[in-house]
Amino acid sequence: MQNLDFLFKRCQEIGPITAGFVYPCSQVALSSCIEAYQQKIFTPLIIGPKANIETIASTFGLDISPLTIIDVKNEIDAAATAATLAQQQQIKCIIKGSLHTDILLHAILDNKYNLRTNALLSSCCLMHLPTYNRLIFIADMVINIAPDLAQKVHILENAVTMANSLGWKNPKVAVIAAVENINFKMPATLDAAIMAKMGDRGQIKNCIIDGPLDFDLAVSAVSAQIKQFKSPIMGDADILILPDLQAANSLYKEMVFMGGADAADVILGAKIPIVVTSRSDDARTRLNSCAAAAIIAHQQFKA
């Protein structure tokens, strides 16, 4: 069964990508920066208060001697410096350290850095579950709280961009609702049906979309057969688009904490990919996310 190791193999083929590690002022954030350097995923630029970072390194026995540190005073300056370096194309990925997520996102969204595109920022995560026979992407479990239809289309397109970049040429996208029939009292089913029709008509490209689908029709071939369902997705979805942040975030955490999933999380929709791992993410998820972001950055800068 495929796991997430292919991400690291691909990074070795590409070679290190220059990335800004923003305010890595904790043991876990600084360690993942060093690990990404040692694994040749990134050439990191550390953006943070130098004295503080040197103290953390010496306290925890971390060797930062080969790495460049750009000295800044605080979290806000670190986020602004990262956005400036990204604007100047001196870094091709941004990796959040221990600063608050909204400080980093607000710098990236600030028009003066010109890092926004016509797309919305949204997150997508590639999951490997020991109990499931396929890798699966889910979106958006970090950014958009209650997306409307237009925002859902951006979330879907960003997820397809991630899947395409990581090697899924024409991924199957299931737009999830509680039921597979259109129910006028459930707006998620109406949005899903419209997105499926947009896919049929080629208004959303590089993927096959169906919806609304309830969860089991999206992920279980047995269920799809029992229900005698007719769809291009018969339990073999590659991407799950959840109706809102509560559903996607809960699913992500269920998969990780109850299903033992390995994850790679990236925020797409800006001019460069961004990694915003949460405080509870382990070292493996942080590194997986760095590897996925490096591959996406390589694709974006090649295009």
Nearer to ligand COD, 158 or 231 (CB): 158
| Paired sense of beta strands 239-241 and 136-139, if any | parallel
Q: Which stretch binds ligand COD (CB under 6 A): 89-97, 137-145, 172-180, 258-266?
A: 137-145
Residue 278 engages ligand COD in binding (rule: CB under 6 A): yes
Nearer to ligand COD, 220 or 278 (CB): 278
Phi and psi at residue 232, in whole multiples of 5°?
-65, -15
Residue 175 engages ligand COD in binding (rule: CB under 6 A): no
Binding mask 229-268 for ligand COD (x = CB under 6 A): --------------------x-------------------
> Measuring CA to CA, which residue among 238, 211, 210, 236 is closest to residue 223?
236
Residue 121 engages ligand COD in binding (rule: CB under 6 A): yes
Q: Which residue is nearest to ligand COD (CB)?
A: 121
Nearer to ligand COD, 189 or 277 (CB): 277
User: Cβ neighbours of residue 272 under 8 Å, at least 6 residues apart?
Assistant: 86, 91, 92, 93, 94, 115, 297, 300
State the minimum distance, in angstroms, from the CB of residue 7 to ligand COD: 22
Residue 277 engages ligand COD in binding (rule: CB under 6 A): no
State the minimum distance, in angstroms, from the CB of residue 189 to ligand COD: 24
DSSP β-bridge partners for residue 240 = 138, 174
Residue 142 engages ligand COD in binding (rule: CB under 6 A): yes
State the minimum distance, in angstroms, from the CB of residue 296 to ligand COD: 17
Q: Tell me how crowded residue 123 is: count the other CB atoms within 10 A of its CB.
A: 27
By CB under 6 A, the residues from 83 to 102 that bind ligand COD are 102
Q: Which stretch binds ligand COD (CB under 6 A): 26-34, 72-80, 142-150, 161-169?
A: 142-150
Residue 79, H or E segment: helix 75-87
Residue 165 engages ligand COD in binding (rule: CB under 6 A): no
DSSP code, position 134: S
Q: Which residues of 136-169 are buried (b: 16+ CB within 10 A; e: fewer)?
A: bbbbbbbbbeebeeebbbbbbbbbbbbbbbbebe
Q: How far apart are CA 69 and CA 62, in angstroms?
A: 14
In contact, 275 and 285? CB cutoff 8 Å? no
Number of chain positions touching ligand COD (CB under 6 A): 12
Residue 81 engages ligand COD in binding (rule: CB under 6 A): no
Residue 29 engages ligand COD in binding (rule: CB under 6 A): no
DSSP code, position 116: B
Please report, as ranges, the residues that interact with ligand COD according to CB under 6 A: 102, 105, 109, 120-121, 142-145, 249, 269, 278
